[in-house]
Amino acid sequence: MERESVIVIDFGGQYNQLVARRVRECNVYCEIYSYRTPLQQILEKKPKGIILTGGPSSVYEEGAATCGKELFETGIPVLGLCYGAQLMSHVLGGEVKRAQNREYGKTETFFDTTSPLFQGLPEKNIVWMSHFDYISKLAPGFTSVAHTANTPVAAAQNVEKNLYAIQFHPEVLHTDNGTRMLYNFVRNVCGCAGDWKMDSFVEHAIREIREKVGDGKVLCALSGGVDSSVAAVLLSKAVGKQLTCVFVDHGLLRKNEGDEVEAVFGPKGSYELNFIRVNAQERYYSKLAGVDEPERKRKIIGEEFIRIFEEEAKKIGRVDYLVQGTIYPDVVESGLGGESAVIKSHHNVGGLPEHVDFKEIIEPLRDLFKDEVRKAGLELGIPPYLVYRQPFPGPGLGVRIVGEVTADKVRMVQDADAIYRQEVDSAVEAYKAEHGEEPKWMPNQYFAALTNMRSVGVMGDERTYDYAVALRAVNTIDFMTAEAANIPWDVLQKAMSRIINEVRGVNRVFYDLTSKPPGTIEME
């Protein structure tokens, strides 16, 4: 069965994955390719539409990311966004100029709502602009269908040729009705039926895995995180006991997490699979003793994981397939798909054990974004508390304990973190009960970390010289940038007071206000 799809051509802009996610929200499957991909290769995918993203260049710059005229002559509808819009105009004979001032931020924009792109929209709409260059003269055959006080061409179209250009960013949430504009393009202009849905994905994936695996043996490293859990359940539904999951408890998990994972996937859980839990806590603590350099810690934790995994694999004997919970952003960020993130190589893609003897890797979630993985998880009947788990780094609490890791420090950060999450969760629940919606300050990720700072305090009549805990909570869309969340003071105070009273060894609590950049979300 051929899958209906739209292709996003990546010119290196920061919102490229967001464009693809929004298209998928319109139930249209979509993939990202670098602008360097030959046109022929793109056409072989038989896309029903093409979207050109924003990018950091200026069309006149030497070496600027570009494309040939042929891209616009295939008859396939093309939508250019920001740089993509300028490029389309430039290549097709229009003019692009550099403005004196950058147009940046929320901008009131006026629309021609007879344009297929803007059907059903109000005539005046707020959009997110971020550009220096602007389209100063339309390419032949184009008309302007949106403008702002400063930009005569905020959007343009050549309906006859199915070409559309938007100067702003419909993919970001700051643009009102942005998803509607993308919907209009992919569903109405491109004529996509919208068949990308998670129930059919799950059904299709199970069938495909069954066909591929036959009666082979499958091995999966289960971390308890969303991705590996969903991958494991898919495999279990497809091949049952032919699957063995290895869960390494490295002693750097959140409080009770090891037991929770075992309860779901272990022998008393609800899935048909072989489950091996390796209790490697002591092994990790001894490897990490005396190590305080963050990268070194990450390396040790990663290498030890691979070693343990290999040991377990040897005990099982030959396996035919190894399952990886790679998801689409990992693929794009490793530079295998898009353009912008050749910068970063991802642990899920790069970090395979070298000495595990297997025939092939299965990556059942390779095409999915995180929110789609969650939907697939619910579809598979995985408990919502697992599906909606906060992101948790592979090196676990190892990167939330600044400096040397010890069993005692792990206890402190686990206990403080459990209290903090409880307090935030119950404040959120109380707010929801009263207002019927989540509070505006609802963080996307929140946890406690242990600083390496000890300070003097007084407890009862005794002097203390104990550690300080840092509470972190961030609002973020993509985890690439983040702001500290505005957690109500009383929630912070209650968490602080409980942490100091209940967690031995902690006598001070800080709230971390740092945004990203310049900070990162994790401490190390």
Residues that bind ligand XMP (CB under 6 A): 347, 391, 393-395, 445, 479, 516, 520-522
| The length of the chain, given as a count of residues | 524
Would you tell me the crossing angle of helices 407-435 and 281-288 to the nearest 10 degrees?
A: 110
Active site residues: 82, 169, 171
Query: What DSSP element (H or E) covers 373?
Result: helix 370-379
CB distance 210 to 239 below 8 Å: yes
Nearer to ligand XMP, 88 or 402 (CB): 402
Tell the smallest beta-carbon distance from residue 399 to ligand XMP (Å): 6
Tell the smallest beta-carbon distance from residue 158 to ligand XMP (Å): 41
Residues 6+ apart with CB under 8 A from 523: 399, 400, 401, 402, 449, 451, 470, 472
Nearer to ligand XMP, 152 or 394 (CB): 394
Nearer to ligand XMP, 21 or 217 (CB): 21
CB distance 236 to 265 below 8 Å: no
Strands (E), 303-418: 321-323, 360-362
From CA 192, how far away is CA 177, in angstroms rounded? Answer: 19
Tell the smallest beta-carbon distance from residue 476 to ligand XMP (Å): 8
Residues 6+ apart with CB under 8 A from 409: 401, 450, 467
CB distance 110 to 35 below 8 Å: no
Tell the smallest beta-carbon distance from residue 368 to ligand XMP (Å): 16
Nearer to ligand XMP, 35 or 446 (CB): 446
Tell the smallest beta-carbon distance from residue 448 to ligand XMP (Å): 13
Strands (E), 11-94: 29-34, 49-52, 78-81
Count CA atoms closer than 13 A to 24's CA, side-chain side: 24
Nearer to ligand XMP, 226 or 412 (CB): 226
